[in-house]
Structure 1
Amino acid sequence: MQTYLVGGAVRDFLLNLPVKDKDWVIVGGNPEQLIEMGYQQVGADFPVFLHPNTKEEYALARTERKSGHGYTGFDVVFDDTVSLEDDLLRRDLTINAIAMDENGKLIDPFQGQRDIADRKLRHVSDAFREDPLRVLRIARFSARFCHLGFTIADETEQLLREMVNSGELEHLVAERVWSETSRALSSPSPSEYFRVLKRIGALNIIFPELDALFGVPQPFRWHPEIDTGIHTLKALDIARQLTDDVDVLMATLCHDLGKGLTPEDILPSHHGHEGAGADLIKRIAKKHKWPVKTATLCEHVARFHTHCHNIFALKASSVVKLLNNLNGFRQPERIAQFAIACQADAQGRSGLERTPYPQAAFLARCLEQCQGVSAQAFVEQGFEGKAIGDAMHQQRVGLIKQLQKSAH
């Protein structure tokens, strides 16, 4: 048996990036041998083994042949006749198809080192087209590495378009789409993921509600960039500068989805887009199986982001109601998440990227003041039932009024 370090670990080593997870491939071995050596087998589709000491993943060299639709429609062959080059040939990109032996020697049959030097994302072979999930993976790698100067090779981008046109993306399951998208969101340049999907015609399949925003105008007075899709991606990149919280990033991406539903006869105005977007998110999240906490924050940001923008003009009772609607008294961390998404929306406009957003700090102070209101104090005064909640509300309103006065 021979063991090689493969995939992202080798790529990131050559890019002088931190190596987080190490994947290994074993050539000339079989499951029985590894189990005897104390490896733990995991994975149902093909044998992957955890090293008895390091717990790193070791996979037997394998080949794959397309046998159905989607990313699961493959026949997998793994035995001691499969060579290292056979295994590397089935990988997606040349930069991910480099192996390193136990002495540090690189095995690079598909010129991955050249493409690292040239900053190119290039598919290894025509077998790339057999897995539609790779369309999303390439878009995600673009988001991850475009700040280093990586671009998609022309022939690979053409292949991506052909895969989109073939209809194979229709067979992707919701969980895998969410997995790739959520990882792309926390990349250094998350907007690039959606730009690539838009450019190759895949965004209309993967996220048609987002695709619908491109070309939709907004009032120049508030949005110098005019196009809602452009604004959305600018806001997303601003949010990424502020946080790597996937829930916040997704909420920022979805905050204006309601503008894609605006009747043409009232454009560029978007009256009522907040509620329309929040209701749309409920349907999307259910269909695409988004995590519940992600969907909830997305819905809240869509429905209430303009409340945050206008918080200095709101009545004190409306501010308390907003904190309640956001479930801020039970989940105070939600207020911070909400505020970041609102700030990204405000700053995700051409020429306004560095405009201060004092609303975020003020909202945090409002929550802090209101959190000091205790039900116990009113119980001790003899209040019961609904009267306790009413009294707490009134005390909170009074505290917010004091904050508003000091803010002016």
Structure 2
Amino acid sequence: MPRPRDLVQTEPGLAVLRMAALLAEDDGALDEELLDAMAEHAARGALRGTPGPAMWPELRRGLMARGPSRMLAALRLSGALGAVLPEVAALFGVPQLGADQRSVDIGLHTLNALAEAARGEAPLAVRFALLVMNVGKSDSPPEHLPVHYRHVERGGPRIEAICARFGVPAACRELALLALAECERVHRVSEVRAGPVAAMLARLGAFDQPDRFAALLQVCACDYRAHGEGFGPVYPKAALLHAALRACRDVAVDAEDPELARAQAIATALGSQRWSAAGHA
């Protein structure tokens, strides 16, 4: 592992990010001397004038390393995360209800989700979506915590701003926005509501954008398994949606009402209601 003297580069801000990205490729405890050197550079404002597009290659490198959560942890411990990704830094200490209805720290949960993505060798777009999809929850009204009403409305512009700031690839941006809108809905989807399941499959691109559908389910699965023991390796909602998708294979593409026909097929396959009250799954 490079020592602190390697931080001396043309652009100190990029040096801090590079060290954090390199830490993501390493194992073991984070190097205290290196963290101190990174913190010194951050305290001097080294990151303040660093252009976002110049930062992106280092962030990408860290996200695609075997320990992306180590990069974020190093940036946070050195005081640099607030300068690079203030939207993500603000999530630490904010509670939300976990899959088992216990309160979890959203920032720590994000680290766990990224670790799950690395274990599954997830592509960049999945890892980026997990990094940013909760940024609308940082300033939810305290009286509502650990529930986050209207976080999707707050999160969308923030994700757009992050992507614009760093010049993030369009595929990463699109999946992050999809995850923001749909991940919690996927977690809640129920086999007893065949109509909304059919509508969800259409929204997620299951019928015409299979790669997008698969990537979104990978995001959801990592988010699910990030809750710890008892949540994996099989993600039950992915199994449900794949079963529903298989049930729709014989529905004619030119059916008079394709969504209704798909709902009927899903209801038959899953033993659920043909249709249910209007609304999203």
Q: Scaled by the length of structure 2, what TM-score is found?
A: 0.86
Task: Give yes or no for contact 2:97–2:103 (8 Å, CA) kept in 1.
Answer: no
- Structure 1 residue 199 corresponds to structure 2 residue 80: no
Unaligned segments of structure 2, at least 5 residues: 274-281
2:123 is matched with: 245
Q: What are the equivalent positions in structure 2 for 1:67-106 lying under 5 Å apart?
A: none
1:168-317 residue pairs with structure 2 within 5 A? 168-219=46-97, 222=100, 224=102, 226-312=104-190, 315-317=193-195
Post-superposition Cα deviations, 1:145-166, rounded to whole Å, max 9, x if no partner, equal: 12xx364351x32221121122
Residue equivalent to 1:131: 12
CA contact (8 A) 1:373 1:395 kept: yes
Whether the aligned pair in 2 keeps the contact of 1:274 and 1:304 (CA below 8 Å) is no
Amino acid at match of 2:264: G
Closer, same or farther: CA 224–189 of 1 in aligned 2, 3 Å: farther
Q: Could you say if the C-alpha distance between residues 321 and 279 of structure 1 is closer, same or farther in structure 2, counting changes exceeding 3 Å?
A: farther
Matched with 2:26 is: 145
For 2:10 and 2:93, how far apart are their aligned partners in 1? Answer: 30
Is the alpha carbon distance of 1:128 and 1:283 closer, same or farther for their aligned partners in structure 2, counting shifts above 3 Å? closer
Contact 1:316 1:398 in 2 (8 A): yes
User: Greater helix share, 1 or 2?
Assistant: 2
**Counterparts in 2 of 1:364 and 1:271: CA distance versus 1, 3 Å:** same
Aligned to 1:158: 36
- Which residue is equivalent to 2:264? 398
Q: Distance in 2 between matches of 1:316 and 1:173?
A: 48
User: Larger RCO: Structure 1 or Structure 2 (Cα < 8 Å, ≥ 6 residues apart)?
Assistant: 2
Is the 1:327–1:334 contact (alpha carbons within 8 Å) kept by the matching residues of 2? yes
Cα deviation, residue 219, structure 1? 3.5
> Which whole-Å CA distance do the structure 2 matches of 1:281 and 1:354 have between them?
28
Helix, strand or coil for the counterpart of 1:226? strand
Contact 1:258 1:273 in 2 (8 A): yes
Sort the Cα spacing of 1:187 and 1:313 in 2 relative to 1 into closer, same or farther, 3 A. Answer: same
Unaligned segments of structure 1, at least 5 residues: 1-119, 379-387
More strand by share: 1
Match of 2:208 in 1: 330
CA separation of 1:230 and 1:314: change in aligned 2, threshold 3 A: farther
Does the 8 Å contact 1:258/1:276 carry over to 2? yes
Distance across 1 between alignment mates of 2:161 and 2:216: 20
Structure exhibiting the larger radius of gyration computed from Cα positions: 1
CA contact (8 A) 1:281 1:298 kept: yes
Please report the TM-score for the alignment, with normalisation by the length of structure 1. Answer: 0.61
Structure-2 separation of matches of 1:397 and 1:303: 22
8 Å CA contact retained: 1:231, 1:348: yes
What is the number of residues matched between the two proteins? 273
- The 5 Å alignment of 1:11-90 reads none
RMSD of aligned Cα (Å): 2.5
Identity of aligned residues (%): 28
Q: Which amino acid aligns with 1:233?
A: L
Note closer, same or farther for the CA distance 1:129–1:152 as it changes in structure 2 (3 Å cut): farther
Q: Which residue, 226, 232, 242 being the options, matches 1:364? A: 242
